[in-house]
């Protein structure tokens, strides 16, 4: 198996900052670290297993209903995740609310099935799915880290900024919790990455 | 094998649908007990927090067990009352769940509501110092989805001891603020009767006057949700009014 | 809450893109010029407007707990809500396919301008998101659901056309090189989102 399969998704071909896939759900769940981590793990699980099964079934899927078969496969895993979250992590499932359902239409999953799993053997497809899920999760967690630390002064709900700072006049940045700041932060991430990797710069 | 023929496509999709449905049905049935337990815990926790109890739940190692134990310790009695204020037999807790509250709300929402069908849950809480407060659920439609909550009254059946509100889909940072202790804390100490007439609690845009007995601040930017909550509280207290009057007369 | 208020709110206050970031993938991929953005926007309005009422009826009469009691009282305990994701996405995928075939048959001119976008819409989060929000918000009747569908579709349309117009002009401006293209589009969408937040206080 080629190294690129599990190395690229983290930096060179990161699904969020380079391929621009799966933005929809990535931004709304990054106000706090906990839902972001759960979301990252859920997406990794779904990308991994739906790629694996799509690859196992790749020679049997009738071409005409290909998209629907893929969607059914993906939604099967998403419903499993949703049911397990409701049973074992109820608070988090309430915070994620509709965004769990939106994993179905997360372009990363469909994108990886179409672009990789349908043309490759099950094991590399599984690794590709997991790596892409983690590459996506990495951005999610980084965003949530910044937003929770600056926006609420906490990490995983524990206070990080000492009380003394607040007494000295430090204030939590309310703006960074608001949705638009997530977009601006992703923009800055892209700037940073392309500053380092000049070959990604658009003409 | 020709994977593009009609027969193959139809057989393939049929088998797929059957397998997927079987897997999902199995998982859903086997996890539904656990999910229901979480919903019950949430309701118990909300009821407890309306009497300012149960704060330790999130630190407890077994949240469900902790909340149930606290609930059984403090909520010493629960019963249903009808629209005339008489106690009736029944399971108060299942009617205090959102689905139960919605069923009562739906009865009253009809054009000619059949008041005799109305059964309203009441919980009696005995505090550590021995005094009793009673908890009354409320339910209504917010800006986007249902809003509901639990309001507790001291044994004068007039002064609010505490309140908790929940919502399903209000805008975060605006309408969703009704669920914060900062908002619900304003209700503590307000009175719902003015003399003998029920005035409930009203939300005031731009800040309630200091020391007002019936008014609290609306959420800035969340006026529609605040108004909806005000209406829900008033409406449900009106349902409970015969019961409240009866209890007051007995004191 | 009356229809007009819901309509305006779903366009401006709870805008699919600026408040919930739904449908960002196709949004960023297609917003390079106004003409294609316009085409995709219209297609999205259309698909949301068709799928959401269908999903509303399915949800109301089949999926919510006890919803099937109209068939026979014996089914009153049945709770099929765990199937809702799969049903919604199946309806959306099927409708997009159907719309594609109908448009192709009856209006080849429209098909040639919209056709390429239609398959994209099945995986557009805004369409699925609208159905999921509909389920969560529990609209009182079909009318509200339809108005909400129209409003959120138009909101998405406005957002993508506005951003496309900005990006067309942006091609001539001197942006730091690593920020060009994708990076600056994100930041501009964020700034537009802040502008749209000023609608939050409106009352109708």
Q: What is the ipTM of this complex?
A: 0.80
Among residues of chain C, what percentage have pLDDT more than 70?
88
If you count them, how many residues does chain B have?
Answer: 251
Per-residue pLDDT band at B39 (split at 50, 70, 90): confident
If you count them, how many residues does chain A have?
Answer: 203
- Kindly report, residue by residue over A32-55, the tens digit of the pLDDT: 888 888 888 888 999 999 999 989
* Residues of chain A contacting B3 with CB distance shorter than 8 Å: 59-63
- Kindly report, residue by residue over A112-160, the tens digit of the pLDDT: 888 888 888 899 999 988 998 898 888 889 988 998 888 878 888 778 8
Tokens of A109: 């999953």
Q: CA-to-CA distance for B72 and B68, rounded, in angstroms? A: 6
**Cross-chain residue pair C194–A67, CB shorter than 8 Å:** no
For residue B172, the model assigns a pLDDT of 65
- Kindly report, residue by residue over B107-135, the tens digit of the pLDDT: 777 767 777 778 888 999 888 888 889 99
Q: With an 8 Å Cβ cutoff, is C87 touching chain B?
A: no
Instruction: State pTM to two decimals.
Output: 0.80
Q: Are A16 and A193 in contact (CB under 8 A)?
A: no
Of C128, C186, C197, the CB nearest to A101: C128
Average pLDDT, stretch C101-128?
74
- Kindly report, residue by residue over C145-169, the tens digit of the pLDDT: 999 999 999 999 998 888 888 888 8
Cα distance between the two ends of chain C = 9
Tokens of C59: 């949800």
- Kindly report, residue by residue over B70-85, the tens digit of the pLDDT: 888 888 888 888 888 8
For residue C114, the model assigns a pLDDT of 63
Judged on CB neighbours under 10 Å (0-12, 13-18, 19+), A141 is middle
For residue C149, the model assigns a pLDDT of 93
Of A83, A184, A192, the CB nearest to C187: A184
Residues 104-143 of C with CB under 8 A from A: 119, 122-125, 127-129, 132-133, 135-136
Q: Is the pLDDT of residue C99 over 80?
A: no
Residue carrying the six token digits 């000619």: B112
Maximum alpha-carbon separation in chain B: 85
* Residues of chain B contacting C137 with CB distance shorter than 8 Å: 144-145, 168-169
- Kindly report, residue by residue over C117-143, the tens digit of the pLDDT: 666 777 778 888 888 888 877 777 888
**Cross-chain residue pair A62–B23, CB shorter than 8 Å:** no
For residue A26, the model assigns a pLDDT of 65
Among residues of chain B, what percentage have pLDDT more than 70?
96
**Cross-chain residue pair A83–B28, CB shorter than 8 Å:** yes
* Residues of chain A contacting C84 with CB distance shorter than 8 Å: 101
For residue C67, the model assigns a pLDDT of 67
Q: CA-to-CA distance for C13 and C199, rounded, in angstroms? A: 6
The distance of C150 to chain B (nearest Cα, Å) reads: 16
Q: Are A16 and A139 in contact (CB under 8 A)?
A: yes
Mean pLDDT, chain B, as a whole number? 84
Chains that touch A (3 or more CB pairs under 8 A): B, C
Q: CA-to-CA distance for A24 and B251, rounded, in angstroms? A: 58
B128 HSE (CA, 13 A, CB side): 4
**Stretch (H or E) spanning A81:** helix A66-88
Mean pLDDT, chain A, as a whole number? 82
User: In chain B, which residues touch A (CB < 8 A)?
Assistant: 3-4, 8-9, 12-13, 16-17, 20, 23-24, 27-28, 31, 34-35, 38-39, 41-42, 169, 173
Between B85 and C65, residue with greater pLDDT: B85
A29 closest CA partner among B135, B172, C32:
B172
Of A61, A65, A83, the CB nearest to B27: A83
Dihedral sign from CA coordinates of B180, B183, B185, B189: negative
Describe the crossing of helices A179-196 and A122-152 by its angle, rounded to 10 degrees: 120
Strand B215-217 versus strand B202-204 pairing type: parallel
Average pLDDT, stretch B52-70?
79
Q: Is the pLDDT of residue A75 over 80?
A: yes
For residue C117, the model assigns a pLDDT of 65
The distance of C112 to chain B (nearest Cα, Å) reads: 26
**Cross-chain residue pair A84–B31, CB shorter than 8 Å:** yes
Which residue out of B1, B2, B3 would a mutagenesis test of the A interface target, given it has the greatest number of A Cβ atoms within 10 Å?
Answer: B3
Q: Is the pLDDT of residue A203 over 70?
A: no
Average pLDDT, stretch B230-245?
89
Chains that touch B (3 or more CB pairs under 8 A): A, C
Q: Is the pLDDT of residue C1 over 60?
A: no
Using DSSP's 3-state secondary structure scheme, residue B88 falls into: strand
For residue B209, the model assigns a pLDDT of 77
Q: Is the pLDDT of residue B5 over 70?
A: yes
Chain A's closest residue to B2, CA to CA, is A62
If you count them, how many residues does chain C have?
Answer: 204
Instruction: Report DSSP letters for A13-40, one per residue.
Output: T-TTTTS--SHHHHHHT-SSHHHHHHHH
Of A23, A67, A180, the CB nearest to C28: A23
**Cross-chain residue pair B145–C200, CB shorter than 8 Å:** no
- Kindly report, residue by residue over C75-90, the tens digit of the pLDDT: 666 777 788 888 888 8
Residue carrying the six token digits 């000492």: A162
Q: Are B70 and B53 in contact (CB under 8 A)?
A: yes
**Cross-chain residue pair C137–B145, CB shorter than 8 Å:** yes
CB pairs under 8 A between A and C: 143
H helix intervals, chain C: 3-8, 24-30, 34-58, 84-106, 108-114, 118-121, 125-137, 142-170, 182-196
Backbone φ and ψ for C94, nearest 5 degrees, come out as -65, -45
Percent of chain B that is helix, strand, coil (3-state, to 5): 50, 20, 30
**Cross-chain residue pair B38–A90, CB shorter than 8 Å:** yes
Q: CA-to-CA distance for C27 and C24, rounded, in angstroms? A: 5
Which residue out of C20, C25, C120 would a mutagenesis test of the A interface target, given it has the greatest number of A Cβ atoms within 10 Å?
Answer: C25
Residues 21-60 of B with CB under 8 A from C: 21, 24, 27-28, 32
Using DSSP's 3-state secondary structure scheme, residue B77 falls into: strand
Between B27 and C120, residue with greater pLDDT: B27
**Stretch (H or E) spanning B71:** helix B63-74
**Cross-chain residue pair C83–B21, CB shorter than 8 Å:** yes
Tokens of A7: 């190395």
């Amino acid at each position: 198996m080629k190294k690129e399969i599990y190395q690229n998704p983290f930096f060179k071909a990161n699904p969020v900052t380079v391929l621009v896939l799966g933005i929809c759900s990535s931004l709304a769940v990054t106000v706090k670290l906990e839902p972001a981590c759960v979301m990252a793990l859920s997406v990794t699980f779904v990308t991994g297993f739906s790629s694996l099964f799509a690859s196992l079934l790749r020679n049997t899927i009738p071409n005409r209903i290909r998209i629907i078969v893929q969607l059914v496969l993906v939604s099967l895993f998403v419903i499993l995740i949703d049911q397990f979250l409701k049973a074992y992590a109820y608070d988090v499932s309430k915070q994620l609310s509709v965004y769990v359902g939106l994993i179905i239409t997360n372009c990363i999953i469909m994108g990886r099935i179409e672009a990789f799993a349908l043309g490759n053997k099950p094991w590399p497809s599984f690794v590709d799915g997991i790596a892409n899920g983690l590459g996506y999760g990495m951005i999610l967690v980084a965003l949530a880290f910044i937003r929770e630390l600056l926006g609420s002064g906490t990490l995983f709900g524990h206070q990080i900024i000492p009380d003394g700072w607040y007494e000295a006049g430090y204030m939590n940045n309310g703006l960074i919790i608001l949705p638009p700041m997530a977009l601006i932060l992703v923009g800055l991430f892209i700037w940073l990455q392309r500053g380092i990797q000049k070959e990604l710069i658009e003409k | 094998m020709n994977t593009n023929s009609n027969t193959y496509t139809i057989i393939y999709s049929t088998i797929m649908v059957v397998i997927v449905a079987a897997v999902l049905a199995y998982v859903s049935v086997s996890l539904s007990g656990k999910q229901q337990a979480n919903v019950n815990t949430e309701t118990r926790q909300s009821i407890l927090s309306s009497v300012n109890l149960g704060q330790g739940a999130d630190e407890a190692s077994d949240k469900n067990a902790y909340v149930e134990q606290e609930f059984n310790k403090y909520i010493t009695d629960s019963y249903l009352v009808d629209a005339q204020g008489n106690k009736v037999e029944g399971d108060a807790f299942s009617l205090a769940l959102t689905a139960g509250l919605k069923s009562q709300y739906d009865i009253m929402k009809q054009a000619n509501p059949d008041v005799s069908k109305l059964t309203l849950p009441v919980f009696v809480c005995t505090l550590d110092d021995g005094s009793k407060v009673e908890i009354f659920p409320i339910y209504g439609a917010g800006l986007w989805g249902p809003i509901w909550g639990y309001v507790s009254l001291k044994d004068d059946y007039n002064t609010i001891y505490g309140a908790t509100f929940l919502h399903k889909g209000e805008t975060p940072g605006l309408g969703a603020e009704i669920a914060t202790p900062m908002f619900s804390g304003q209700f503590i100490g307000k009175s719902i009767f003015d003399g003998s007439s029920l005035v409930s609690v009203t939300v005031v845009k731009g800040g309630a006057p200091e020391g007002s007995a019936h008014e609290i601040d609306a959420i800035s930017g969340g006026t529609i949700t605040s108004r909806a909550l005000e209406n829900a509280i008033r409406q449900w207290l009106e349902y409970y009014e015969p019961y409240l009057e009866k209890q007051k007369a007995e004191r | 809450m009356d229809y007009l208020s819901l309509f305006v709110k779903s366009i401006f206050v709870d805008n699919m893109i600026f408040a919930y970031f739904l449908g960002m993938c196709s949004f960023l991929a297609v917003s390079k010029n106004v003409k294609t953005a316009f085409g995709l926007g219209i297609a999205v309005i259309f698909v949301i407007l068709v799928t959401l009422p269908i999903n509303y009826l399915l949800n109301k009469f089949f999926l919510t707990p006890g919803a099937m009691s109209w068939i026979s009282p014996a089914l009153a305990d049945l709770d099929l809500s765990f199937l809702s994701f799969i049903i919604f996405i199946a309806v959306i995928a099927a409708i997009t396919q159907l719309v594609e075939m109908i448009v192709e048959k009856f209006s080849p001119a429209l098909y040639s301008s919209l056709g390429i976008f239609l398959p994209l819409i099945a995986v557009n989060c805004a369409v699925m998101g609208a159905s999921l929000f509909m389920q969560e918000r529990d609209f009182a009747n079909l009318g509200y659901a339809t108005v909400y569908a129209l409003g959120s579709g138009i909101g998405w349309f406005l957002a993508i056309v506005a951003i496309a117009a900005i990006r067309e002009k942006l091609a001539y401006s001197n942006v730091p090189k690593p920020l060009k293209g994708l990076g600056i589009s994100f930041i501009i969408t964020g700034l537009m989102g802040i502008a749209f937040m000023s609608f939050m206080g409106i009352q109708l």
